Amino acid sequence: MTFPVLKRKLSFSIPQMKLSGDKQVAACFLDAVKANPDEAWAFVSKVYSPGLDLNELREVLSGSAQKMVSKAMYLSGSKNCLMRSIYVEDPQRNFKRLLHLRMIREPDHNGQWKIFGVEQEECGRI
C-alpha cells in the first residue's frame, strides 16, 4: 500500500515584534502608571524591577502636566542603555520636577526598551 505524497513548500517566517522607540515607551509607561500601576509593569525590566515603587510615581504624576525635555542620552557609551528626562509640573501643588527614566534594551512583545530606574530631581519653586 502506498500513500500519496503531498508536496509542501517549507517557509520559515520569524514573527515580527512591534518595536517602539524609546520616546514612545517612556510616554506609554507614564500613561500606564497614571492609569493603573499594575499594567505599567509590562514596561519595566524584569532584571531591575525590585527597586521601583510605581505607586509613589503615580502620586507624583497625578494631576500634573508632563513634557519630554531631552533627547535620548546614551549612558556609559553603550547603545543598550539610555535615559529620557521628563519635566513634570503641577501648579496646584506648586512643584516642578525632572524625572529621569533610565532604560535598557530588552526586547519583547511590548517594545524594545524597558525602564530599569526612575530618578527624581526637584526644580526650584516659585
Query: Could you tell me the three cell numbers for 47?
Result: 532584571
**Contact between residue 48 and residue 116 where contact means Cβ atoms under 8 Å apart:** yes
The series of mean pLDDT values per 10 residues for the chain, 126 residues long, is 54 42 81 87 82 86 67 67 84 81 85 87 72
- Per-residue pLDDT at 121: 85
Distance, in Å, from the CA atom of 11 to the CA atom of 55, rounded to the nearest integer, reads 47
CA atoms within 13 A on the CB side of 77: 0
| pTM for the model | 0.71
* pLDDT of the residue at 11: 43
Find residue 82's DSSP bridge partners: 74, 103
pLDDT number for residue 41? 87
